[in-house]
Amino acid sequence: MDSAYEEVGRKTKFGVYIPSELARELDELMKSLGIENRSKLLQESLRLFIIENKWSIAKEVVGSINILYNHKIGDSDKELTELQHDFLDVISSAMHIHLDKERCLLIVAVKGSSNRVKELIGRIHSVKGVLLVRSTLMATQ
């Protein structure tokens, strides 16, 4: 085992350096949330990081893609609808929310091949009028 790690029972101990300001913010948030154990908090944070990012190396994923766009720019409505039809193999459903006279939020539920979902996300980014694309994806394996 690497000398940076120390086995303690079924756990591994290692040191982490963080900026003082980050430590202060962490302590303030922990206090306001009633969390007393830094180790438990860091373990939960690491699990969340792994879950949120493991999809990028997984074969199968599930989750949602949130798309904020201006429907008055280009043919964004039409292009996003056509994209959904092109990716029916990974799209389970979609919800369209009108935010104001120009902007809409499209929430697309996906399940299937991570490569196809990555391709879909890339294609969404290229649609003129798309302002923001935010995905929440998890590995299914």
pLDDT tens digits along 47-102: 888 887 888 888 999 999 999 999 999 999 999 999 999 999 999 999 999 999 99
Identify the residue with better confidence: 13 or 111: 111
Give the mean pLDDT of 134-138: 92
- By CB neighbour count within 10 A (0-12 exposed, 13-18 middle, 19+ buried), where does 116 fall? middle
Residues 114, 80 share a domain: yes
114 lies in which domain range?
A: 58-139
Q: What is the pLDDT of residue 6?
A: 67
104 is in an annotated binding site: yes
98 is in an annotated binding site: yes
Verify that 64 and 128 share a domain, yes or no: yes
Query: 48 with 75, same domain?
Result: no
pTM value is: 0.72
96 marked ligand binding residue = yes
